[in-house]
Amino acid sequence: MLRNKEIQFFLLALVAIMLLATIATFFLLSGLAATMVFLTSVLLIGCSLFFTKWRYREIEKLSGYLRKISSGDYSLDVRDNYEGELSILKSDIYKVTLMLSEHHSLLQQDKVKLTNAISDISHQLKTPLTSMMVMADLLGDTKLEEAKREEFTNNIRVQLERIEWLVSSLLKLSKIDAGTVPFKRDPILLSDLLEQAIQPVLVPMDIKQQTLNVTGEKEVSFIGDFNWTTEAIINILKNCVEHTQEGGEISISFTENALFTELIISDNGKGIPKEDLPYIFKRFYRGKNAGEDSVGIGLAMAHSIIKSQHGDIEVKSEIGKGTTFIIKFYKQVI
């Protein structure tokens, strides 16, 4: 402590004041009074040094705590619940420690998510890549018939389109999860949005001879992002078309009240097993009734898009009777 310059200056000032006071008392009063002033000054200087040493020791302890925290030890609790600046400083350090601990936990969770996502993506890409490699080897046979060559080439094209769709969808989903997608807040008429979302599913519905019923007032609207919400609805409609038998029916209705705008999409398809319902919006989840080409991305993306716009989505389903998706866009988020 005595090596610190500020302590040396402080001690020098106290000694100078003590000597001046003692000398002045000796000449102005008496030798006995000067001795009393000298002894009193020595006691005061001793008390000041003792108190200063105690404060420096506390600061040194806090410094040690900070070094442990910086090395990743977030289990320390330096609070002493007393009055004073040092106690306030200890409480503030404890708050920062809790904040760093939470950030550390979030980083660990992000690492686990990233690892799982890479593992899932690798798994999803492995099948089409293996298939393309096999067909590429077969195409290398000069004696291969022209019809087979055309079939393998077409299969490779289909697998490449599947990989492109998969990578594009995962990229969008990752951006949404990372919060880097700037969702617009525009007034949107649901009738206009549905007109756009229905177009991509008209052909598969026509092939399966399914019927579509849309009911709702033209003025029903909500605040959101037109393009992203359209993509969410397309994914839900694709799911309905995929899981509804030939000649089935898909219904869409929308209403609006003072609290929210509600959109209900339902089908009379084969339904979702009860045990699959809690995981239906989970990424890469494939339920018991999932199609062979199903990856488990569409509903996960729809869920992320709607949730990112302060909306809510729930699903109700009964085996053999169909599935209903209920989407709500709230007018005000509290």
Backbone angles phi, psi at 309, to 5 degrees: -105, 30
Q: For residues 63 and 119, which has the higher predicted lDDT (pLDDT)?
A: 63
- Residue 269 contacts residue 324 (beta carbons within 8 Å): no
Structure-token pair, residue 181: 């997608």
129-141 pLDDT per residue, tens: 888 888 888 888 8
DSSP 95: H
Q: For residues 251 and 72, which has the higher predicted lDDT (pLDDT)?
A: 251
Residue 181 has pLDDT above 90, yes or no: no
Query: Using CB atoms within 10 A of its CB, is residue 261 exposed (0-12), middle (13-18) or buried (19+)?
Result: buried
263-277 pLDDT per residue, tens: 999 999 988 888 888
Average confidence score pLDDT of the chain:
86
Predicted TM-score (pTM) of this structure: 0.63
311-333 pLDDT per residue, tens: 999 999 988 889 999 999 998 76
DSSP code string of 224-254: E-HHHHHHHHHHHHHHHHHTS-TT-EEEEEE
Q: How many CB atoms lie within 10 A of CB 34?
A: 18
The arithmetic mean of pLDDT across residues 9-37, rounded, is 89
> Mapping DSSP to helix (H, G, I), strand (E, B) and coil, where does residue 39 land?
helix
What is the percentage of the chain residues whose pLDDT exceeds 70? 96
Residue 292 has pLDDT above 70, yes or no: no
The arithmetic mean of pLDDT across residues 192-215, rounded, is 92
